[in-house]
Amino acid sequence: MNVLITSGGGAKGAFSVGALRQLMATTGIRSFDLISGTSTGALIAAMVAAGKIPAVTDIYLSNSNADILNKQNAIDNILNNKPYLYDTTPLENQIRQQMDAAAWNTIRQSSSVLCLNAVCLQTGRLSIFSSHPIQAGLHYDNLVINSTDMLVKALQSSSNQAVFMPPVTINGLQYVDGGNREVIPTRTVVTNLPPGQEHRIYILSNNPDAQQPGNSNYTGLLDVLLRAVTIFIQDVRENDLEVLRNFQQTATAPVRVYYISPEAELDPDFPTGLRFDRLLMQAWMKQGQLRAKTILQQYPDGNW
């Protein structure tokens, strides 16, 4: 089976789009048997499943912050019990434009299985919204997408970073960004790959493999918060990758993993990925393309 895993990372998803385009050009792969995405990776995953590769490229090259977020008055939101800093109506409008009835029909009629990660605030558990039923897992709950509207809400759930963006209500429960539990969504993959078969797993990560060193001293409130977010993301990523390594080591047939990530932090000042700068995203997309080309040429059997 050919598997695609796309990580969270906000605007840094441009790196994944560049890597994805190079991956498809190099391997000739046009579709994947299983696609697992978190946050911005969920948006990319859905576009891949719907066959909208040119469109997803245009999105990451043309958007600015105003096309994604409406900044709110933090004090007013606190006083009025609005649990977010940004209104995401622009993002919702873009999702609805891309994930219309035709896109949903393409996804649900495909043999590919699309999995979108979110976290339920009420249960605290990882929740997988999937285009087809998947195997039950100890570490996640499965909700099967049954309509265009549910697909849109699942994508909003996966990509709406808690506190920064509003939770999304589905069937009476509130959901937020899947990156709170999985930045690189591997648990669905290891649970749903048939044993005894050869698999090729392509991981597109928007964060470097190693923890980046910090400053000599942190004094500002926001600086401390963002550094803490960076450390949190790194810890979650390491756990995600360990799940996949354990699976690979115990598999009875070859599991070839192609891990494509930037060599350094793409946007050190905004580890949440909430800076949609067109010039930066253009540069990150080019980095993704070049990095994927290097990995796929140097390691034809995987780089793990």
As a whole number of angstroms, the distance between CA 115 and CA 15 comes to 20
CB burial readout 30-68, b (16+ within 10 A) else e:
eebbbbbbbbbbbbbbbbbbbebeeebbebbeebeeeeb
Q: Considering 16, 39, 130, 159, which one is annotated as catalytic?
A: 39
Task: Please tell me the distance from the alpha carbon of residue 233 to that of residue 271, in angstroms, as a whole number.
Answer: 9
Catalytic residue among 127, 159, 177, 261: 177
Q: Is 209 an active-site residue?
A: no
Give the contacts of 11 (CB within 8 A, at least 6 positions apart).
40, 60, 63, 267, 270, 273, 274, 275, 276, 277, 280, 281, 284
Rg value, the chain, Cα: 18
Instruction: Tell me phi and psi for residue 273, to 5 degrees.
Output: 80, 15
CA distance 7 to 155: 14
- Pick from 216, 210, 292: which is nearest to 258 by CA? 292
Token digits of residue 63: 């958007």
Are 271 and 233 contacting, i.e. CB atoms less than 8 angstroms apart?
yes
Q: Determine the Cα–Cα distance for residues 46 and 150; give it in Å rounded to an integer.
A: 13
Q: Under a CB-based contact definition with an 8 Å cutoff, are residues 122 and 110 in contact? A: no
For residue 175, report the phi and psi dihedrals to the nearest 5 degrees.
-125, 145
Rounded to whole angstroms, how far apart are CA atoms 14 and 57? Answer: 8
Longest alpha-carbon distance in the chain = 57
Residue 130 annotated to the active site = no
Among all residues, which ones are annotated catalytic? 39, 177
